[in-house]
Every structure is written in structure tokens, then in C-alpha cells.
Amino acid sequence: MPELPEVETIKRGLSKFIINKKLTKTTILCGKSFIGAPVTGTVKTIRRFGKALIIDLDNGKSLMIHLRMTGQLIYDGKERYAAGHPSDNFTDKLPNKQTRVILEFDSGPLYFNDQRKFGFIKVVDTDKVEKDDFIKKLAKEPWVMTPEEFYEKLQKHKNSLIKATILDQTIICGLGNIYADEALFASKIHPERRCSTITKNEAKLLLESARKVMDESIASGGSTMATYVKADGTKGDYLEKFAQVFRHEGRPCVRCGEKIIKIRVAGRGTHICPNCQRKNHD
């Protein structure tokens, strides 16, 4: 579930706790969740490529972490820092039933929880991170892609639905189901429009909307809970504060008052205002 803003939130939070700390031991509770042989070493940097998190150690090895749909990372040192898939159990005793891997740092354990086991932690050589099959295919993020580039990309997939296209990380990187719906709503574009019908102006607006919704989310700590349980108690609240359509079905559109509805597009639950987002344009 975590999309780019959530992973960025995790990156910023974890950096405060595990940079310069030593990874001393790895406990694997689910074999599928950890790829490669466990390593030890001191954390030098934490990076993010789209929705993937990279923890670089000082010995040429890195841990690549992808949370996919239900992954969570919970650091439990002097303070607890939790982010990723939202749930009520960020304050649970750990490990719990969904804990798949425990990374033991000399300052405290980092739990990788993942209900559905789609996510993973993978050991890779630091100098080969960008050559990884997943990482190397990632497109640019919305902030560095130009409207012209984006428009050209859409034209290459003229028969695809616009929502499916902006969810494809090899076309534009970072959007997931929440921010795709929010960006399309902000741009007044129906998710089932074919890419060939998207005008240059609409492409520009959609790109700018994608930046805006993700900027807002990063600024508010992501839409998932990112909780300093023993510190200030704040949590990510994008969905509460900023979301206009995601999980708002049945509620009035903030622009026109029409009821937001939920439909299915490209196999994903999709939220739209049927009045602001029209399929057929004149």
C-alpha cells in the first residue's frame, strides 16, 4: 500500500534512528520475505527509488526493501517509529503474527511486518542497486518529468486507460492507488479515458496534480500512520486532511456537491466525482 510519500516518510524517519548504527543480526521468520544471505554492517545512507527503500551499509552491501501492499517497518529503540501499511497495531508487542524479518541494530530492532507477504527485503551489492531489475526500469518521478515527456509517454500507450497508465512505474514513478485517484480528480479527468484522448494541457495539469498531492502528503507525514509513540504522538494524516475522493464514496464532491462514487478500473477500486470527471468530452 505504501506509495512514494509513505516510503519517503519512512526514509526520513528511519534516517534519524539507524544511520551510523550497526546491523548485528537478522532473524528471518518467513523465508519468502528475505532474499539473499543475511549481512552485518554499519548503516551509511538510506535512499529511495520510487516506492523502494535502500539501506546502504559500510561494507559494499545494501538492503533493498519493498513494502508492496501490506508491508510495515517498525523501529523499536528508545522511541518507537512505525510507518507503512496502516493498522491499529503499531503499538502492539513485537514481534507479532505478521512479523516476517527482524533486523537487529545495536540501538534496537527494526521489525518488517507484512500481512500478505508480497513485500521483501533483498540483499544487493551497493554498486549494483541501480542495475537491479526493478530499479532500472523505474521511470522519472513527477517532479523531474517535463509535461512534454509525460505527454509523449501517454501517446505511446494510446489505447490504455489513463489510470492504469499512471499506475505503471515504468511510465511515471511514485503514484499508487490513492494518489492516482486524487491526481485524476484534481485534474477533472475520468480514470477510464484512453490515453490518446488526453490533451497536452490535461497531461500538464495531471503531472502538476500528481506533484501537488504527493507534496502535500509528504509534508503531512504520509497517509499511513507514522507514529512516534514515545515522542510527539503525531501521525500521517493525508487521508484525513487532504484526500478529496479516496474512500470518500457517498460523500459530496468538494467542488460540485455531487456524490463521490466508487467504481472498478484496471482491477483497482477507483473513486471519482461522476460530475467533475466525465468519460466523454465534447
Partner DNA sequence: CTAGGATCCTGTCAGC
Partner DNA sequence: TGCTGACAGGATCCTA
Q: Among residue numbers 185 through 204, which ones bind DNA (CB under 7 A)?
A: 195
Q: Among residue numbers 58 through 77, which ones bind DNA (CB under 7 A)?
A: 66, 68-69
Applying CB under 7 A, among 164, 166, 172, 186 the residue interacting with DNA is: 164
CA-wise closest residue to 228 among 1, 12, 69: 12
Q: What is the separation, in whole angstroms, between the first and last Cα of the chain?
A: 36
Helix ranges (H only) for 98-192 are 133-137, 147-155, 162-167, 177-186
Upstream peptide bond of 274 is cis (omega within 30 degrees of 0): no
| Residue 100 near DNA by CB under 7 A | no
Nearer to DNA, 2 or 13 (CB): 2
CA-wise closest residue to 263 among 165, 142, 161: 161
- Amino acid (one-letter) located at 264: R
Identified catalytic residue from 212, 268, 274, 278: 268
- Interface region with DNA, contact rule CB under 7 A, candidates 19-27, 40-48, 141-149, 265-273: 265-273
Is residue 268 flagged as an active site residue? yes
Nearer to DNA, 128 or 264 (CB): 264
Applying CB under 7 A, among 233, 267, 280, 282 the residue interacting with DNA is: 267
| Residue 157 near DNA by CB under 7 A | yes
What b-and-e string marks burial along 48-78, b requiring 16 or more CB atoms within 10 Å of the CB?
Answer: bbbbbbbbbbeeebbbbbbbbebbbbbbbbe
| Residue 224 near DNA by CB under 7 A | yes
Is residue 2 flagged as an active site residue? yes
| Residue 122 near DNA by CB under 7 A | no
On whether the CB atoms of residues 163 and 197 are closer than 8 A, the answer is no
Is residue 95 flagged as an active site residue? no
Q: Can you tell me whether residue 107 is helix, strand or coil?
A: coil
Residues of this chain that interact with DNA (CB under 7 A) are 1-3, 5-6, 32, 50-51, 66, 68-69, 86, 97-98, 115-118, 133-134, 137, 156-161, 164, 167, 169, 176-178, 195, 222-224, 239, 264, 266-269
The catalytic residue positions are 2-3, 51, 268
